[in-house]
Amino acid sequence: MKLVIAEKPSVAQTIAKVIGATEKKDGYLEGNGYVVSWCVGHLVELATPEQYDARYEKWKYEDLPIFPKEWQYRVSAGTKKQFKVLQELMKRADVSSFVCATDAGREGELIFRLVYHQAGCKKPFERLWISSMEDEAIKEGFANLKPGTEYDALYEAALCRERADWIVGMNATRLFSTLYGQTLNVGRVMTPTLAMLVMREAEISGFKPEPFYSVSISVAGITATGERMNEKKDAETLLEAVEKEKKALVSKLSVVEKKEKAPVLYDLTGLQRDANRMLGFTAQQTLDYTQSLYEKKLCTYPRTDSRFLTEDMEGMLPRLVEKMKEKFGFHGHIVVNPKQVINNKKVSDHHAIIPTMLVNDAVFAELSSGEQKVLSLITARLLAAVGEPAVNRETSIEFLCAGHTFTAKSKQTVKLGWREIWEWILGKKTTQEDKEEEENAAKYVDVISEGKSFPVQNPELKEGKTTPKKHFTEDTLLSAMEHAGAEEMPEDAERKGIGTSATRAATIEKLVRIGFVERKGDKKTKYLIPTHKGTALVTVMPEQIQSPLMTADWEEKLLQIERKEYPADEFMGGIEEMVNDLVKTYKVIED
């Protein structure tokens, strides 16, 4: 008898159905030589400092730093019943081995291993590693189970991440809270993210708009603009000169057709960014909707940081594309270019997020509105990613008048290419500015030729003001998190930035939940604004804690630990050394 342990009940039920474990019991299912049960997220968690020593119940500076010699764990208060079920199943005499079927990633590995060790189990186990909850994917996964020992390095990296976060979080939170006489929550990923928000708001509030001026002219119905000027009198002088000149020479005419490559497939961060920008969803909402679609077998594993597929998937792509076309009622032709989305070297644990064949039979009315929209995004991205390039005609004209150059530019779509299916599924939002540019573009070359002079009409002085950077939205913050510290990281570093695709949404939600950040704005656009409490925390944080470079460096080293390229002991030693220096050398910032 094999005991299969999944990460949550819904996944366990899906697996149980496929492998024939259909007899329902209290906390598990059984049948066909299998027992299938589940965790409920993290059943086992790190002990708090006071569980190591009662003196840590009171936060005192002199007790810092806290470095456990032997790490202790406890069963979460709300999950003791399910842990007991798993522990008893593990001890059953007829259960000879296990299958770890938690989510195939760093955190999923940690969830299973902590339960396994907390239960004091020594029985052998294998690993189920799948990227789809489709029946065939589950069957294939069980036919190709891997020895659990092959994932020891992944577990080691997960332990390092969890314990290092504990060391930094517990020590830094107690350090700053005791020094400043108030609770100041500090986190290795959370604090640098908050710092980016605070710094952006400081830039905005400290910004002083400056006026600028330009002169525009109309030539043969085309509006062209001169260079920006800082002094109004200079612009007024130019306006007078243009009014006297009355003619403009076409000094340069350039018409170029440029190809716009199809977009890459979605990783989780890319999907969250588009869902925020286009649909107004928070990063957490998008993850929740995508996780639900995954469990309903309608898309592949969501917590991925890859934007490509593997070579063995190439053969199924034309059929999947055809099925998705049918489902969304698109009758146009899509030339499938699989090589655009295939790259084994850029797929680590999981490939990009794509819809499954089962979408073709899905009843959309049975899905929530959010699930429908996210599934449409994922499908549109797949069909676009394998499509032909879009082709745009870009026209640039320079007019010479009164010794100054005036420029007009336009862009006209010549061939929709991949955009045709994208706009079919998601719709096209065209602004009045876009329409005018399209209309103007067509007539540029018809009426204008290089070396010709034309009368100048409607010369006009225009005044504007410089504007500050915009407040962060979840879209732009996710991008900033993804690329934070990238300029200091090695060129060949595969993962840069703060956190991972799987953790960024939770970081943003935690900042909001504990009152460091609030969402402001209308239904269409929500901005993330640091609160006074959040700003005050960052003000007293030393650079090493609030810098994205530290956490970006961590992510790179954790990846190296997964690959057995960097020793875990060296990583943890570096963390303890950094925290010890922080505790011993930090000086209170006076008001």
List active site positions.
301
Contact 106, 158 (CB under 8 A): yes
Residue 492 dihedral angles phi and psi, to the nearest 5°? -90, 5
Give the end-to-end CA distance of the chain in Å, rounded to a whole number: 66
Residue with tokens 């939170």: 173
Angle between helices 532-540 and 190-205 (to 10 degrees): 110
Coil, strand or helix at 350: coil
Contact 530, 539 (CB under 8 A): no
- Of the candidates 522, 579, 528, the one whose C-alpha atom is nearest the C-alpha of residue 554 is 579
One DSSP character per residue, 381-412 reads HHHHHTSPPEEEEEEEEEEEETTEEEEEEEEE
Strand locations in 416-477 (E): 453-465
The 10 Å Cβ neighbour count of residue 548 is 24
Size of the chain, expressed as the number of residues it contains? 591
Can you say whether residue 121 is alpha, beta or left, with left for phi > 0 and alpha for psi between -120 and 50 degrees? beta
Q: How far is CA 235 from CA 215, 216, 386, 457, 466, in A?
A: 6, 10, 49, 17, 17
What's the rounded Cα separation, in Å, for the pair 229 and 363?
Answer: 59
The 10 Å Cβ neighbour count of residue 28 is 24
- Of the candidates 558, 10, 461, the one whose C-alpha atom is nearest the C-alpha of residue 237 is 461
What's the rounded Cα separation, in Å, for the pair 184 and 540?
Answer: 10
- The 8-class DSSP code of residue 303 comes to S
Residue 219 dihedral angles phi and psi, to the nearest 5°? -130, 120
What's the rounded Cα separation, in Å, for the pair 318 and 338?
Answer: 8
What's the rounded Cα separation, in Å, for the pair 122 and 90?
Answer: 9
Contact 36, 131 (CB under 8 A): no
The 10 Å Cβ neighbour count of residue 236 is 14
- What is the torsional sign of CA 185, 189, 195, 196? negative
In single-letter form, the type of residue at position 568 comes to A
Burial tier of 174 (Cβ tally within 10 Å: 0-12, 13-18, 19+): buried
**Residue-wise burial string across 380-391, b where 16 or more C-beta atoms lie within 10 A, e elsewhere:** bbbbbbbbbbbb
- Say if residue 548 is preceded by a cis peptide, omega within 30 of 0: no
The 10 Å Cβ neighbour count of residue 169 is 17
Can you say whether residue 427 is alpha, beta or left, with left for phi > 0 and alpha for psi between -120 and 50 degrees? left
**Cα 72 to the chain's mean position, in Å?**
32
